[in-house]
Amino acid sequence: MEQELLTYILIIIGGGALSLCLCVYALFRFRQAPGGKYYIITTFLASVFNFAYLFELTSPGLQETWFWLRVEYIPLPFIPAFTLLMCCDYVGQRLPRWVYYVLFLIPLATIVMQHTNEWHHLYYRAISLSTDTPFPVTRLVHGLYFYVHFFYLYGCLAISVLILLWQMRRVRWRFRMQILTMVAGLVAPVVASFFYVGGKSPYGIDLGPFFISVSFVFHSIALLRYQMFDVAPIARDIVFESMEDGVVVLNENGVLVDYNNAMVDLLEGLNAQAIGMPMMSLLDSYPVLREKILLGQECDYECERRAVKTYFRIRFAPVRDKKGTPVGRIVIFANITEQAQLEEQLKYLANTDGLTSLLNKTALMQRSEQAIQGLSSEEGGPVAVIMFDIDQFKQVNDTFGHEAGDIALMHLAATAREILDDQDIAGRYGGDEFVICMPGASVTEAYELAERIRSRIAGSELLVDGETMRISSSFGVASVQVTPGDRETSVQMLIRQADHALYAAKRMGRNCVQVYG
């Protein structure tokens, strides 16, 4: 008899002590963590409940048993409320104020009903000690209000379990063991109570305190092994998934280990089945990206997604174990589309003449020089330069005003732009002078282009403040054959020659095209 009772006593003492140790541990380690303060309260109440039940189980008579039974019901009704609050706070779920009132109103009513049971017998209809068991066990005939407490208690625990299971959907597998261990700790007392209420427990003993001990074994595992209340892993996972930047994690063999949601938009077909596959095999449809990742150096990457150009900066970071040994790497795709578009806009503004939208002089000279150097470094070829301006431009300004002069310049530039080919380089050289560089074009092709522009300008009319204005333009053409390795030919030389031809066109009566030489 004493041996059987001693077993139960040792289990209850162990459970109560473990609960109290976890309470103290959490007080110093997790007091400020989400759910931490409620966990501290819950473990303390559970410890009080366990030790009170210990005294009930070892009480010699009914009077002492009833006393300790009432002591048990001071902490017990609040345990489900604080458990539910712990789980809500743990997952970041805020509750309305009225929920708090409901949560604590029922436990307070339970304490009152249990402590005043002798007046109404709504909680227990009868209380006695067994005589057919190896040691005295309290026999309780439950009243109506007991079932109110029963459904409240297990309703709170059920909601707590559902909240934790719902949280599992938001985290990756490696963090789910933390939550599953917490769920196991909540389910254990529920299983015990169904045995007790159903009359299946040994000698009719309330198995709740015993299974609370089991519950806190799970809690200790969750705390020490899976870092319960250390929300950093879950927080990191949520941040990882919500990042706008795409991230892939590769092991030392280049095998895909993990990725976030942003990468799904970047790489079509990326899914859970891709984990464990070599990253290079997943990039067969992206040869440019494949080469950049193989290179392993920070670089920019441009792609088209849903007919929209998107720009990424690819960065690499090593993954190391606790000893500092490289075990893989992280590839980060930072979306720099806005930055790239801004840089392009600034570059456009820096290279573009504000009035005519052609290249300004600096950009014109740079691109023309690059085109000539390109011919020189390859197989060579012809290059032509056209220089042109508006005839008697000063007279246009004096007669119609400077606004009319601007309109004339814009019309001349727009006409040239409509006729030019994509490889031609056009810009405003200064004042009313314009230059076109034509890499790969012969002098005949340049002459024909200049004549087309001249003819269209001469045949057009401009309306300025209700008055009709006509303008004409003169053109000078220069050309040279660039040989491979040629370092003497320059765009400045060709512009100087085209300028001489332009002055010849002026001397010929304007509104014509002249070729240098």
Which range (125-129, 185-189, 236-240, 384-388) has the least confidence? Answer: 236-240
Which range (211-220, 315-324, 425-434) has the least confidence? Answer: 211-220
d(CA 90, CA 229): 7
Q: Report whether CATH 1.10.3720.10 matches the domain 2-235.
A: no
* Structure-token pair, residue 183: 């769920």
Q: Which residues pair with 255 in a beta bridge?
A: 278
d(CA 502, CA 391): 11
**φ, ψ for residue 358 (rounded to 5)?**
-90, 175
Which range (161-165, 429-433, 496-500) has the least confidence? Answer: 161-165
pLDDT of residue 271: 81
Higher pLDDT among residues 75 and 183, named by residue: 75
% residues pLDDT > 90 (the chain) = 34
Higher pLDDT among residues 496 and 61, named by residue: 496
d(CA 218, CA 226): 10
Which pLDDT tens digit goes with each residue over 298-312?
A: 999 888 777 788 889
Cβ count within 10 A of residue 401: 13
Query: Degrees (nearest 5) of the Cα angle 8, 13, 17?
Result: 150
SS3 string, 186-199, reads HHHHHHHHHHHHCC
Residue 1 has pLDDT above 50, yes or no: no
pLDDT of residue 197: 61
Q: Which helix (H) or strand (E) holds 225?
A: none
Tell the burial category of 55 from Cβ atoms under 10 Å away from its Cβ (0-12, 13-18, 19+). middle
Same fold, 2-235 and 352-515: no
Q: Which CATH number fits domain 352-515: 2.40.50.100, 3.30.70.270, 1.20.120.340, 3.40.50.170?
A: 3.30.70.270
Strand locations in 164-245, DSSP E?
none
Q: Give residue limits of the domains in the chain.
A: 2-235, 243-341, 352-515
Domain 243-341: state its class.
Answer: alpha beta
| 276-296 mean pLDDT | 88
Which pLDDT tens digit goes with each residue over 432-472?
A: 999 999 999 999 999 999 999 999 999 888 888 878 889 99
